[in-house]
A and B are shown apart, each in its own frame.
Chain A
Amino acid sequence: MRDYIIRRLLMLIPILIGVSIAIFVIMQLIPGDVVSGILGIEETPELRAMWEAKLGLDKPLVEQYFSWIGKAVTGDFGESFRTGEPVFPEIMKRFKISAELALLACVIAWIIALPLGILSSLKRNSVIDRIVRVVALLGVSVPNFASATLLILFFSKAFNYYSPVKYVGLFENFGTNMEIMILPAFILGSVMAGSVMRMTRSSMLEVLRQDYIKAVRAKGAPERVTIFRHAFKNSSIPIVTLIGMQIGGLMGGTVVIEQIFSIPGLGQYTLTGISQRDFPVVQGCVLFIAFVYVIVNLLVDILYTYIDPRISYS
């Protein structure tokens, strides 16, 4: 097990190098650069040359890449081309916000999806099942920017309510922070809930058809034990896989919701970096998101061994 984890962590190195090269190449290929963003309409050849020299963009591309990666391996992700602020502390600050949003969304998704998914599989083809399936389909198919806008309009029209506009951290003021986070988390959670619900239902149905469930029931075990200890636990592998992927995706994938609700998370930082062609910011954010994604997946794989003792990585 320990060897496995070390092996997986070592695999991070080629993954991150690959990602960093890809980002570097893509940033070079896309039109526009940071200097034209800084100078706007005032751009002249002299000003451009000056800013390129100031930001080190006049050096050969290979040299630019290696000077960046050389610092990155020591944990120095460089400074933003625009503000001059170091990138890494800002990423950590933003990560906490995005992680909180992602976790809240997950909790909301689980609260909605798991009980309903189980219920739906047990009452297969009943009215409840049909309703749950329609709700799940809605959750999956309504784009979150649409539901976000509708919810904002609904609350403002019906209750004259708008969530606090000034962002406050979780540890500064718990109540206000929750008030800011709950709506966006609910929207993200409801989208996740749709697919988790569907996965729970189909996975449960498959397990419930197995012979050992019949054996458990024949043994006279109470229905509660049959469902939770035997059926649900054994059907949870694909659900955990799905949730793991969703958490990874939420790290950078909350950008639309962050923007609508003005939440200063990692997604918005990445987007601002991209639109300003702020290479150190984009590179830092994408690498960090890739890192989180890999770690979350590793945790999921480790979790498998607890859910299903037959799985082992030796």
Chain B
Amino acid sequence: MTRTDVDTPTPSPAPRERRRFGSSGLGLGFVIKLVLVALVDALGVYGLLAAYAVGHWGIITTLAIGLVVVNWVYFSRKAIPAKYLVPGLAFLLVYQLFVMLYTGYVSFTNYGDGHNSTKSDAISAILLQNDRRVEGSPTLPMAVVQKGDELGFAVIEEDGQVWVGTADQPLEAAPDAVVQDGRITEVPGWDVLSYAQVIERQADVLELRVPVSDDPNQGAVRTQNGTSAFASRSIYTYDADADTMTNTDTGAVYRPNDQGVFVSDDGAQLTPGWRVAVGFDNYVAMVTGSDLSAYFFQVLAWTFAFAILSVGTTFALGLFLAVVFNDERIKGRRAYRSLLILPYAFPGFLAALVWRGMLNQKFGFINEALLGGANIPWLSDPWLAKLSVIGVNLWLGFPYMFLVATGALQGLPGDVMESARMDGASPARIFRSITLPLVLVATAPLLIASFAFNFNNFALIYMLTGGGPNFPDATVPIGATDILITMVYATAFEGGARDYGLASAMAIVIFIFVGVISWAGFRRTRSLEEI
């Protein structure tokens, strides 16, 4: 992005003439630039400090590189195109590219239901979930005590005797403790914490387990409110050195495996597991795993059909209406245009919901009011459902194309049209030979964008048909109107366990797929325009 060719205005040392434009050396523009870059720098430096404070090295690196690039670009006399590209590209890199890369990373992990967090989270969840009140254990009044930094519990036994202990020190009698009105007020050698102090250290207090005795089977004293205690016992114990979970009832030992879960020698697993990298497992599962592959090509074919037909129909109708209303003699042109834009003014998912109701076979407005009580299964017949999806998308999408085409028509060179008309060319011929090619040049990239949008048009399918009607024999919840992205959603999120790893892998595959195809299409459109 550094080399500029002859097109760019090379700053000439001695401009010959300055009729309309003054020097830009230190003018208003420069001041604005200076202020803006200074602002960015200030924010960047603040960010660097803040990121350093929380130890976010990824953000520090990104920010540092970003700041260098911004300052270089805007204070260099070269790199003129970069001055125009940097703001947009910065947002793009952070919010799009990073998201893509991160999705790529997730696709190589088993992130999903049952593997939701880190290993240490999983260990504490397993210990907590299996930490049960020892059956029949009484609730005893207690106080939280402290010696130096170490927390401990002081418990009043039923006989009035006070016992004190810490995580490492099982309960011991403290005969000199003072109890007033059922509350422990003083324990020699310990500071009794006030309630406010307990709240300050509440996480530690609730995590603390004070063994009842040296025998671990008798459980440990814990509290849930800082004022009363009971004995509880976790069925599992974690040995940090050996990295194993042991079931204290059966003695079974569970070891972590490479799938991010503790598993015993006989194959029993403990939930939850944790996130680990699983290599290409998700990609392999896509091909071999379920019966997904059996329906993949069917869904793929429909996805293409849907995307192409959506672009085709909306563009055709939009351009047609734009041409029709591109005549100054039409009275009320403005009103027509305003009304035609209305479907676009409604949030798309809402429109899909409304259409869903209107297309109800028996009670829908279309069948009952418009077609006089017809019984057409608009959404439950596989082919009609496809037709309905295209029809609703046409309604949703043509105003967009109408707008774009209207704008494009304004940009057509009037003189060319005029001379063609003078030469006696018919309107149809003018349209075919001049209007359409020129409009296509302006909108071709847009049509590809629209293709991409519809290829991934999740909201419409999800809200209108939910992918249904389902293939009755399919062993995966996939239906006749499912496109790739709703299929991924259904299999990765709705078929029971949510599997972000698998979903990400599928997203990457879809991306590569549609990317290659669009890229090929894009190269072909080069015949229509010069890049």
Q: Do A and B come from one complex?
A: no
